[in-house]
Structure 1
Amino acid sequence: MGLVAVRCGMPSWEWMEALLNEWLWQEESWLPPGVTWQDIKMKEDEGRFPLPRDLVYTVPLAFAFIALRFIFERLIALPLSKHLGVKDRIRIQADSVPKLETFYKQTSRQPLQKEAVSLGKQCGISQRNIQTWFRHRRNQDRPSNTKKFCEASWRFVFYLISFTAGLGSLINTPWFWDHRECWRGYPKQPVAVAHYWYYILELGFYLSLLLCVSVDVKRKDFKEQVIHHIATVFLIGFSYCANYVRVGTLVMLVHDSSDFLLESAKMFHYAGWTRTCDSLFVVFALAFLVTRLVVFPGRVVHTTLVLSLEFFQPFFGYYFFNTLLLVLQALHIFWAYLILRMLYKFVFLGKVERDERSEDESEVDDEEEAPEEDGDEGSRKQRKGAINCKLASLANNCVLNNLTSQRKINCRAQSRKAR
């Protein structure tokens, strides 16, 4: 009512700012009961207090990360992929059929049987050839190993630098060892310059991932990844505005501690370094299960849910922050389930066949052999590449069958000896 009364005598921008301050920055939402904005003001000699306007810099920083990633992938990641021996499969190019191309882009990438029959009549092509065309067309859109390697190497570099810098800035802080220190003196807690940049860079990076999610390689956990990025952006932004910086730095450190191991395992997987990939994946799985299922809920979530109540009464920020943490924990449990499936396969099959967490594409199609008609040299190369891929797959299956048979023989021999 007060704003409405003075609306006529205020410029529009001042009125909007006053309205924003009245509704968005209510003390009951951001501060514990009995604490006002005046109580947490700091003098210059007391240190830096986090202000919401600081987060504005993360938007141009996100675009800067996208530009830096573009340069990194072409000048560093691409030559590195060639040096490590990353190879792309030769895919058969689908013939140019405008009606099928229009249906593929505008209607569906996998037509139903009725749709395939209708398309066949329109184009004068058999139903089998229609299905083959769509299979080849889908395979054309599947990302190459080089593209996936470049993406993984970019995330690996950031997560490694972020974890190293974050650990170096936190290891000597009192709240790193005693989590009650996260709340002692809250909310009037100064923020160090190192932790300020830790926050700004992390938020800018996750914003860049969210902006690029539509052009990046889509995994089978695509929806969970989007939810994770959105929850992380809200978590970092809200915790900074509410001055949950101390516990927020611990949350970011826990996440970065295992992510760079996963990205390094992906890089060696694309390069065909199977043993190195398997070893790194086992290390990552152990680190992930310990940090996300033990340290995160047992230490970080416990201090925000339980220990914080020793210093202040619950308020909106308390419930909102902990809700976001629980959303992340639910995603951790989902990914832990996929990782445990991988460990099961590694223990009982002796090989990590694929990354159950996020390595599969959303759809998988078998490569088809090239048509039998005579064509140019490019078509012959495609046919040769497709045949080689099938021979390699057949050889791998034979090796796996031999290994399985050998294991059964060994088990029977051990049983006889035991008897």
Structure 2
Amino acid sequence: MSTLSSDATPSAVASGATRNRRTSSVGQFSLGDNASPSLSTMVPTDTQIRGSQHRQRALSKSDKPGEATSATGSDKKIGSIERTWILYREIAYRNTWVTPLIMMLVPLIAFALSKDRTPSNPVYPFLFPSYKIIPAEEGGMVMYGKGKKDFCFVMYYMLVFSFLREFSMQQILEPLAKACGLTKPGKIKRFMEQTYSIMYYGTMSPWGLYIMHHMPLWYFETRPMYEHYPHQSHELDFKLYYLLQAAFWAQQSVVLFLQLEKPRKDFKELVFHHIVTIALIFCSYRFHFTWIGIAVYITMDVSDLALATSKTLNYLNHPMTGPFFLFFMGVWIYSRHYLNLRILWSVATEFQAVGDFTLNWEMQQYKCWISQYITFALLFALQAVNAYWLFLILRIAYRLVFLEIQKDERSDEEDEDEEDDESKADRDLPAIEVNGGTDDETKKTI
């Protein structure tokens, strides 16, 4: 395998700096399932740019006596309430984490001000897991059941993940990308998305493995999935893990389906992957197949962690990009294919043979022929998408090793298109004088 190096001009070498090369295809390919679009990585539209211009003009003139006008361009003076609203809209436009933070704080403040801190408080299900089961014997294990209130928990933590994603990207990861020497807007955005993925999957992967380690499932044993069915209640850490995963995937799906960012070339595969994942999460939780679900969660999280790390190393032109890409290939094949195929085979062979196999709605016993077909179909669909992405991975590896092709046309074109959009946005948004300063100074004061 050839060594990847950076091109450098004589002046850059003299100053100790190097010029960024075009990103190689190692670690960069059309696998979008681990980093859906983010509000903070959107390219602003013409409408958004013009709206920001109008708000800036209105705020600028509102500080000058006799010149206050509304953000719509009319000559009427704006009052303090309207000015506050315009100011909020401009702040929220520039800082995409502000609105989810406000929405997240409302239930917290309401609960803090309430004297009722018990599950009877209507805000309680949004903040804390519901359906606590007190053990019959003292010192027994506290378990948690399931119900409709779990939707409240998932909805609230969709807001939490929205805030964490936008705040970390704008306030932490974007400065980090620039500190690492990235200058192109496209690469900075992709770096932000992949590094956020590392943060999330780097947390959930060990947590999932820790939970599994204390279960009969360890290590990816399939027979206990059916011996202990139905799984109507769980320990606290299991329930938190499962519902937080549901909130994360639901939040990403909303942003993806709203197409808040220009769809990428793997958009159809990405949408199909999210539909199947959400269906698996809901069905496994509702019909008590969560022991199958946690095994699938872990295989996806571990492989996504390796994928995001491989991409991030590539954006940074790190010397370990090539070796880590080979390591990533091994992790992907082992987790997304070997382990998932074992689970799929167990659904085909052990699902009916191990434990009760009958439909009983009163006893919440759903392990029957129809649930077997549905479970197998969803897992097979997920495996089909993974197989498509494995084909892309192997093709990149073949080109790199045998043809020494390091260019990935899809990735470079995508970055260049985004940079063109950014350049267009910059041209359409001239410096506007606000309070006697330029637009850049306004950003610092708002």
Q: Same fold (TM over 0.5)?
A: yes
Task: Tell me how many residue pairs correspond in the alignment.
Answer: 271
Equivalent position to 2:266, from 218, 221, 244: 221
- Shift of the 164–83 alpha-carbon distance from structure 1 to 2, 3 Å rule, reads same
Please, what TM-score do these two structures have when normalized by structure 2?
A: 0.56
- Map of 1:54 onto structure 2: 150
The answer to whether the 8 Å contact 2:186/2:418 transfers is no
What do residues 101-120 of structure 1 show as CA deviations (whole Å, max 9, x unaligned)?
xxxxxxxxxxxxxxxxxxxx
- Shift of the 43–321 alpha-carbon distance from structure 1 to 2, 3 Å rule, reads farther
1:366: how far off?
A: 12
Mapped pair 1:79 → 2:186 = no
| Structure 1 residue runs without a partner (length 5+) | 1-41, 89-142, 369-377, 379-419
Mapped pair 1:354 → 2:408 = yes
Distance 1:355 1:189 in 2: 49
- Map of 1:164 onto structure 2: 206
1:362: how far off?
A: 6.1
Distance 2:415 2:312 in 1: 21
- Map of 1:315 onto structure 2: 369
The answer to whether the 8 Å contact 1:77/1:150 transfers is yes
Give 1:243-282 correspondences, 5 Å limit: 243-273=288-318, 275-282=319-326
Equivalent position to 1:338, from 380, 392, 401: 392
- Map of 1:95 onto structure 2: none
- Map of 1:295 onto structure 2: 339
**Higher deviation after alignment, 305-314 or 228-237:** 305-314
Equivalent position to 1:199, from 234, 242, 265: 242
- Map of 1:128 onto structure 2: none
The answer to whether the 8 Å contact 1:175/1:181 transfers is yes
The answer to whether the 8 Å contact 1:254/1:292 transfers is yes
Q: Return the letter of the residue paired with 1:245.
A: T
The answer to whether the 8 Å contact 1:191/1:245 transfers is no
Specify which structure has the higher proportion of helix.
1
What do residues 9-52 of structure 1 show as CA deviations (whole Å, max 9, x unaligned)?
xxxxxxxxxxxxxxxxxxxxxxxxxxxxxxxxx87447333334
Higher RCO (C-alpha 8 Å, min separation 6)? 2
Please, what TM-score do these two structures have when normalized by structure 1?
A: 0.59
What do residues 227-258 of structure 1 show as CA deviations (whole Å, max 9, x unaligned)?
11121111111101111111110000011111
- Shift of the 153–306 alpha-carbon distance from structure 1 to 2, 3 Å rule, reads same
* Secondary structure of the corresponding residue to residue 220 of structure 1: coil
Distance 2:417 2:174 in 1: 26
The answer to whether the 8 Å contact 2:158/2:251 transfers is yes
1:271: how far off?
A: 2.3
* Secondary structure of the corresponding residue to residue 300 of structure 1: helix
Distance 1:268 1:216 in 2: 24
- Shift of the 301–355 alpha-carbon distance from structure 1 to 2, 3 Å rule, reads farther
Q: Return the letter of the residue paired with 1:290.
A: Y
- Shift of the 215–284 alpha-carbon distance from structure 1 to 2, 3 Å rule, reads farther
| Structure 2 residue runs without a partner (length 5+) | 1-132, 358-367, 421-429, 431-446
The answer to whether the 8 Å contact 1:159/1:256 transfers is yes
Greater radius of gyration (CA) = 1
Distance 1:190 1:51 in 2: 10
Distance 1:295 1:364 in 2: 38
Distance 1:323 1:312 in 2: 21
1:81: how far off?
A: 0.5
Question: CA-atom RMSD, angstroms?
Answer: 2.8
The answer to whether the 8 Å contact 1:73/1:151 transfers is yes
What do residues 138-178 of structure 1 show as CA deviations (whole Å, max 9, x unaligned)?
xxxxx621111111111111011110111111123111233
The answer to whether the 8 Å contact 1:55/1:237 transfers is no
Percent identical? 26
- Shift of the 154–342 alpha-carbon distance from structure 1 to 2, 3 Å rule, reads same
